[in-house]
């Protein structure tokens, strides 16, 4: 592991992204196997679904990240007990082992595995894997973002800048999108495509969508990895209350996110002048 640790400090470079891709693919293989059989589920305390795939993926990712030997704390949707640590400074892994569990259960393919590296509150590295498509997205902020497949295909991705004067291509949650549609009515003309999981943010990163507003509940692990991919691809994900880029490690708030909007082109900002009004809709 000498190539990612130098002078006792973690070196965040492409080699580390490749190692995280190996970890996520290993978990994805198991998730895919479960997906192809009957899926049994239980309800968590908050009423959200949990399947054997969420737990299997969690264990493989936690073991895989630990085996890198970097001694970085891991916060996962399925185990956020290290939240007694102070996470606002330093590094931690932020993992959603299966985002879009409802999509997984409904077998529509729109679920993802997500691993982000957070440094001083910012998502700096992210890998999102889409088992149903054998497809992944990786981003290293300050370097580049890539879309890749298990067969070795890989291409650099970038947000789209060409929407001006044309219809805004919005993506919204499949399950929770009522207020988001009200928010979008501030745009002159838009289409709204329902999509599960962190795929929505990846769609903006690769330029196939322009904007994703989320006014309802999400947790930090739902979006951190795709947020890193989006930043690496030139995009933004800002809180609607402060209009600042969203940061991570807010364990005092149980890792719950405020309302936010993700977008690719900085020119999307003008409609956000109305954001506070939108929240009251
Ligand atoms: N009431 C709620 N509180 C917290 N998070 C919620 C929620 N309703 C939905 N979510 C989050 O939204 C994610 C799904 O997003 P989407 O609707 O965009 O596909 C879920 O991820 P999981 O499937 O990992 O639980 C869950 O974390
Ligand atoms: Mg999730």
Verify that 150 and 196 share a domain, yes or no.
no
Our count of domains for the chain comes to 2
Q: What is the ipTM of this complex?
A: 0.92
Best mutation site among 176, 195, 237, 256 for ligand 1, i.e. most ligand atoms within 8 A of its Cβ?
Answer: 176
Nearest ligand, measured from the Cα of 100: 1
Any idea what the CATH number is for the domain that residue 184 is in? 3.40.190.80
Is residue 133 within 8 A of residue 109, CB to CB? The reply is yes
Any idea what the CATH number is for the domain that residue 126 is in? 3.30.540.10
pTM of the model: 0.93
| Domain extent for 71 | 5-157
The confidence score (pLDDT) of residue 176 equals 75
Asked whether residue 265 is assigned to any structural domain, the reply reads: yes
Verify that 150 and 173 share a domain, yes or no.
no
Verify that 16 and 150 share a domain, yes or no.
yes
Verify that 172 and 243 share a domain, yes or no.
yes
Is residue 157 within 8 A of residue 141, CB to CB? The reply is no
Binding residue numbers for substrate = 77, 98-101, 222
Asked whether residue 14 is assigned to any structural domain, the reply reads: yes
Task: Tell the residue nearest (CA) to atom 3 of ligand 1.
Answer: 217
DSSP E strands in the chain: the ranges are 5-6, 9-10, 41-43, 49-51, 74-76, 91-99, 112-119, 122-130, 135-140, 144-149, 154-157, 168-173, 190-195, 211-214, 236-239, 260-263
Question: Strand 211-214's sheet: what is its strand order?
Answer: 190-195, 168-173, 211-214, 260-263, 236-239
Asked whether residue 274 is assigned to any structural domain, the reply reads: yes
Q: Encode the chain (281 residues) as per-residue pLDDT tens digits.
A: 556 766 667 778 899 999 999 999 999 999 999 999 987 888 887 888 889 999 999 999 999 999 999 989 999 999 988 656 678 778 999 999 999 999 999 999 999 999 999 999 999 999 999 999 999 999 999 999 999 999 999 999 999 986 566 788 999 999 877 788 888 887 878 999 999 999 999 999 999 999 999 998 999 999 999 999 999 999 999 998 888 999 999 988 999 999 999 999 887 764 554 554 544 43
Q: In whole angstroms, how far apart are CA 70 and each of 6, 22, 59, 62, 125?
A: 11, 16, 17, 12, 15
* Residue 36: both structure tokens together: 């192809």
Asked whether residue 163 is assigned to any structural domain, the reply reads: no
Verify that 36 and 78 share a domain, yes or no.
yes
Task: Tell the residue nearest (CA) to atom 11 of ligand 1.
Answer: 218
Verify that 30 and 121 share a domain, yes or no.
yes
């Amino acid at each position: 592991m000498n190539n990612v640790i130098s002078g006792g400090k973690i070196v965040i470079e492409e080699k580390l992204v490749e190692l995280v891709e190996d970890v996520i693919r290993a978990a994805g293989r198991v998730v895919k196997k479960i997906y192809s059989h009957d899926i049994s589920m239980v309800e968590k305390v908050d009423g959200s679904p949990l399947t054997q795939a969420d737990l299997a993926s969690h264990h493989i990712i936690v073991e895989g990240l630990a085996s890198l030997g970097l001694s970085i704390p891991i916060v996962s949707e399925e185990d956020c007990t290290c939240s007694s640590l102070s996470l606002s400074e330093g590094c931690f892994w932020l993992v959603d082992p299966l985002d879009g569990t409802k999509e997984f259960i409904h077998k529509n393919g729109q679920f993802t595995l997500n691993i982000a590296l957070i440094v001083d509150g910012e998502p700096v590295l992210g890998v999102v894997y889409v088992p149903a498509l054998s497809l992944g997205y990786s981003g290293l902020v300050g370097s580049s973002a890539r879309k890749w497949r298990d067969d070795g295909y890989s291409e650099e991705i970038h947000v789209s800048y060409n929407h001006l004067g044309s219809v805004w291509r919005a993506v919204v949650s499949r399950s929770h999108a009522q207020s988001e549609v009200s928010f979008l009515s501030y745009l002159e003309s838009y289409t709204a495509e329902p999509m599960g999981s962190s795929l929505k943010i990846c769609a903006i990163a690769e330029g196939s969508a322009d904007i994703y507003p989320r006014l309802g509940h999400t947790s930090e692990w739902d979006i951190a990895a795709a947020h890193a991919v989006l930043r690496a691809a030139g995009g933004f994900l800002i809180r609607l209350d402060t209009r600042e880029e969203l940061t991570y490690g807010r364990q005092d708030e149980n890792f719950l996110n405020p309302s936010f909007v993700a977008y690719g082109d900085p020119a999307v900002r003008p409609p956000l002048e109305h954001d506070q009004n939108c929240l009251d809709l």
